[in-house]
């Protein structure tokens, strides 16, 4: 039996016997010749079969032609035949003269979704939706992005951690926790690895990262929220300020975007009609109060002065950063302590501000980062300021009672980065299997 060849490798193969496997994309059943477009995980190829005719011009018995006529879109099969290079063939410059087919699994003729089907129904049939070349590419891009990030981290002596997702108590906000039964008691699904990645600092790990699931019981029905998502986290010791964390964040994103552009740039241009722009450091840095003023001068006022930037404000400050600095990324810094967690370090000369930031990419916040407060006495007072009971935080505060270096880090949503990189309309498009308030299947 001829060994299977991936379709993407046919162009470099020599003419002759070949075997390919995939699913039927289209069938053109013409009077004299039949064409089948077969697609696998790497690309598509045209199979051709001239019909058989008797000497008097009438159709002859042709079992292969009958089998082709009965093919339904989506049928998985192995095709064998003669590979021929022909520059006239639009699909890759090659075609296969079909000699035989082995059907692995026939598909039902009527497909439940089409190119113009809405996103909700497409999510119902996600395994079919993902056969589309654009959707396939999204997850190859995601793989390249994560690999580039891991390469950056490993080459810079980071340690990869896998923190638990079952917790005895809240990591940040009890309001956004999923509660689950746990033997005779209760447990919570982790919103963030925040406390655990900080625990690695007094453990002497120095620099750590994690790419893993996180859960938010947030009943939001927006284009950028999910109840389960992949969080990209990093934490580093011996920093002077959150500026060190922002520098790490820049270098990581530049490495990831460069890898995506190098490997997939041409495909992205062909399928998404866009060019990947690799960012350059430093990204613009704008204090939150100044950013709100800039947005107001552009004609939009953020409703609450004592709150974070809202979605329209994020879009406006992103437009400003692109116009003034030519950057798709912008750091918003110096957030008020009133709207930041108790563990964010406050400014040495202004306790009303924190050494923290949000990173905006193409008009949407993708990350929050900060220098953490590492002095246990200060942490206790900041927890009290937030109305928290330090005794309930004892397990966390213990991390800081036996020595901990100055440290900081960030958490970033993987699907948001991919969504915004490819200008996708919804985070569901950039998530393999989306989870939201009303979706638990497939």
- Binding positions for ATP are 365, 413-416
Residue 58 main-chain phi, psi, to 5 deg: -85, 150
Q: In the structure encoding, which two tokens stand for residue 115, read together?
A: 């190119």
Quickly list DSSP for 118-183: -HHHHHHTHHHHTTSHHHHHHHHHHHHHHHHHHHHHHHTT-EE----SEESS-SS-GGGPEEEEET
Q: How far is CA 414 from CA 37, 124, 250, 441, in A?
A: 34, 22, 15, 21
Q: Which residues pair with 214 in a beta bridge?
A: 229
Cβ 68 vs Cβ 37: under 8 Å: no
Q: CA-CA distance, 182 to 67, in Å (whole number)?
A: 55
Task: Give the residue numbers of the binding site.
Answer: 172, 216, 365, 368, 372, 413-416
Task: Give the residue numbers of the binding site for L-aspartate.
Answer: 172, 216, 368, 372
Sole residue written with tokens 């095709």:
79
Cβ 80 vs Cβ 97: under 8 Å: no
Q: CA-CA distance, 41 to 22, in Å (whole number)?
A: 8
Compute how many other C-beta atoms are within 10 angstroms of the C-beta atom of residue 401. 10
Q: In the structure encoding, which two tokens stand for residue 303, read together?
A: 């409703």
């Amino acid at each position: 039996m001829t060994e299977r060849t991936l379709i993407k490798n046919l162009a470099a193969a020599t003419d002759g016997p070949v075997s390919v496997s995939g699913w039927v994309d289209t069938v053109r059943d013409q009077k004299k010749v039949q064409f089948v477009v077969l697609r696998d995980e790497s690309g598509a190829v045209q199979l051709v079969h001239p019909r058989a005719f008797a000497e008097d011009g009438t159709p002859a018995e042709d079992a292969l032609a009958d089998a082709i006529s009965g093919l339904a879109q989506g049928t998985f099969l192995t095709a064998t035949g003669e590979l021929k290079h022909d520059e006239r063939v639009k699909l890759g410059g090659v075609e296969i003269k079909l000699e035989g087919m082995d059907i692995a699994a026939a598909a039902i003729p009527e497909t439940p979704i089409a190119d113009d089907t809405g996103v909700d129904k497409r999510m119902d049939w996600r395994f079919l939706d993902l056969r589309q070349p654009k959707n396939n590419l999204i997850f190859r891009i995601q793989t390249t992005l994560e690999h580039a990030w891991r390469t950056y981290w490993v080459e810079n002596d980071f340690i990869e951690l896998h923190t638990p997702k079952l917790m005895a108590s809240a990591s940040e906000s009890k309001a956004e926790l999923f509660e689950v039964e746990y033997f005779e008691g209760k447990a919570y699904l982790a919103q963030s690895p925040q406390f655990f990645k900080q625990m690695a600092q007094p453990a002497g790990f120095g620099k750590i990262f994690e790419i893993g699931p996180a859960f938010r019981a947030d009943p939001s029905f927006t284009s950028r929220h999910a109840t389960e998502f992949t969080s990209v986290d990093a934490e580093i010791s011996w920093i002077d300020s959150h500026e060190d964390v922002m520098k790490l964040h820049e270098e990581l994103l530049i490495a990831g975007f460069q890898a995506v552009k190098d490997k997939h740039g041409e495909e992205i241009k062909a399928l998404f009609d866009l060019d990947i722009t690799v960012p350059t450091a430093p990204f613009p840095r704008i204090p939150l109060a100044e950013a709100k003023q800039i947005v107001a001068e552009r004609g939009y006022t953020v409703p609450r002065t004592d709150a974070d930037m809202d979605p329209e404000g994020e879009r406006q400050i992103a437009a400003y950063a692109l116009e003034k600095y030519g950057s798709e990324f912008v750091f918003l810094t110096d957030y008020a302590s009133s709207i930041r967690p108790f563990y964010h370090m406050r400014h040495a000369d202004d306790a009303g501000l924190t050494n923290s930031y949000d990173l905006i990419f193409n008009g949407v916040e993708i990350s929050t980062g900060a220098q953490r407060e590492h002095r246990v006495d200060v942490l206790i007072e900041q927890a009290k300021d937030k109305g928290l009971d330090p005794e309930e935080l004892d397990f966390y505060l213990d991390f800081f009672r036996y020595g901990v270096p100055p440290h900081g880090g960030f958490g970033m949503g993987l699907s948001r980065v991919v969504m915004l990189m490819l200008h996708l309309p919804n985070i569901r498009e950039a998530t393999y299997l989306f989870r939201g308030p009303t979706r638990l299947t497939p």
